[in-house]
Structure 1
Amino acid sequence: MTNENLDKQQGSTTASGRRSAKRSLTVYDDLQREIMLGVLPPMATIVEMEIAERFGCSQSTVREALIALSNDGLVERRSHRGTFVADARADDAHEMIRIRRDIESRSMVRVLRRFGSLLRSELSETIENMKAAAMQDDVYQLTLYDRAFHLNLFDAADLPSVRPMLQRCLIHNHRFKILNSGSQRDLYETAVRHEAILDALAEGNAKKATAAIAHHVTTIAEFGPDITEEDI
């Protein structure tokens, strides 16, 4: 095989790999949305062949997406039994909120060391995007912006090994809230309440910022005023 033919083959393989990765991401995004919104309810069975037919892709592509969803804790892949949508239990949700509170609260001192006009502008824009999603009654898009707000803020703490833990907590907190809040949830208020965190950070007061993020994480209407008040 000539070098030219080899280069063409390698280029074709690379392009095919990119297409496969892009398709896998599409399957992942769509399935995550359906799981978060309850279209695929807790404990529902996921059949790889059916998903592959639906998206017009290979089962290996679907498998890649399911592995990513498994890493998020949204599906369970059981040997010889198949793949199931993970349960959404209150006990798990409560514990993850406690973990979130500790991770985000303890990061505020580090965040303030890097908090400046650029990060503030990015976070303000994300809040505006949340408000727009709320006005469109798009709860899933709002949760994506909500997740982006908290992860972008946490990135300033420069704790990359902890970030996946926070991301997983955010995913499950949002999923549980969506599945259990029904039509009573005020989406616009969900967006606006992030502004208190930004205001506290802008003051440069670590104690106030820590209190603001802790209050934000633990005050969830579906559970009452503060679901971790017994810990304090």
Structure 2
Amino acid sequence: MAVTARTAAAAHPSGPQVADTIRAAITGGDFAPHQRLVEAELSERFGASRASVRNALAQLATEGLVERIQNRGARVRAVSLDEAVEITEVRMALEGLCAAKAAEHVTEDDRAALLDLGARMKAAVASGDVLGYSDLNRRLHGRVLEMSGQQTARAVLERLHGQNVRRQFRLAMQPGRPQTSLPQHLAVIDAVCAGDPPAAEAAMRAHLRSVIEALPALENPH
């Protein structure tokens, strides 16, 4: 009987694994804001036990991705414009810090990787490859965070990214946005590669300030 129980447990993903899967589905756009998250449906979809799904939803609620409605279960939490601005303001402070740290720690390998990303971003904008540019944008920010060595900031930023990723993607798809953000990203790359922490922080903050200024247009496209 004990062997059977262990076998059954091994057949289902654990709570943390289920949380990772649902988190990826939310941030990837598979679930829309305010969409109900029904335990039975999620259990069947992801091959997980109801208990694992319940624990996963509780974890995602603490991360701000899911909200629980009394007597109605859970749903994907929608982020308001005001909250999106606040999140980006926090990003501005933390990613500015990380850009400065990255400039302090930059190596020749880092410089080569950043310059390659910059060249590929320019090529993507020139060819109109908006999706490719969006992916390179994400990779550039991730590389700067990795270079910074600031683990606490990275942990906070990962949680905030999950809450705001849908808006960030919509912003990246806005006509003309890549042409606006490209020189900002190149300024970050240049300052980090030059080993200039104040300039790197200023460039990252200027870029994210531009993001804040652009966010209202997502709410009122016309």
User: Normalized against structure 1, the TM-score is what?
Assistant: 0.68
Q: Displacement of 1:99 after TM fit?
A: 1.0
Pairs aligned (count): 206
Residues 1:54 and 2:49 are matched in the alignment = no
Asked if the contact 1:137/1:187 (under 8 Å) is kept, the reply is no
| 1:83 match: secondary structure | strand
- Counterpart for residue 216 of structure 1: 207
Residues 1:135 and 2:146 are matched in the alignment = no
Asked if the contact 2:103/2:191 (under 8 Å) is kept, the reply is no
- Counterpart for residue 16 of structure 1: 10
| 2:88 match: secondary structure | helix
- Counterpart for residue 3 of structure 1: none
- Counterpart for residue 171 of structure 1: 162
Going from structure 1 to structure 2, the CA distance change for 1:28 and 1:192 (only over 3 Å counts) comes to: same
Alpha-carbon distance in 1 for matches of 2:17, 2:93: 35
Counterpart code for 2:94 = I
Report sequence identity in percent.
25
Write out aligned runs for 1:17-166 (5 A). Answer: 20=14, 25-34=20-29, 40-78=31-69, 80-124=71-115, 128=120, 131=124, 135=129, 137=131, 142=134, 146-166=137-157
Asked if the contact 2:79/2:164 (under 8 Å) is kept, the reply is no
Going from structure 1 to structure 2, the CA distance change for 1:64 and 1:104 (only over 3 Å counts) comes to: same
- Counterpart for residue 174 of structure 2: 184
Structure 2 residue ranges without an equivalent (≥5): 218-222
Alpha-carbon distance in 2 for matches of 1:73, 1:202: 35
Going from structure 1 to structure 2, the CA distance change for 1:51 and 1:186 (only over 3 Å counts) comes to: farther
Asked if the contact 2:37/2:76 (under 8 Å) is kept, the reply is yes
Q: Displacement of 1:166 after TM fit?
A: 1.7
| 2:92 match: secondary structure | helix
**What is the root-mean-square deviation of aligned Cα atoms in Å?**
3.8
Greater relative contact order (CA < 8 Å, ≥ 6 in sequence): 2
Q: Displacement of 1:23 after TM fit?
A: 6.0
Q: Which moved more, 1:123-132 or 1:107-116?
A: 123-132
Alpha-carbon distance in 2 for matches of 1:170, 1:178: 11
Question: What's the CA shift string for 1:3-22, capped at 9, x where partnerless?
Answer: xxx9xx6xx76x92895465
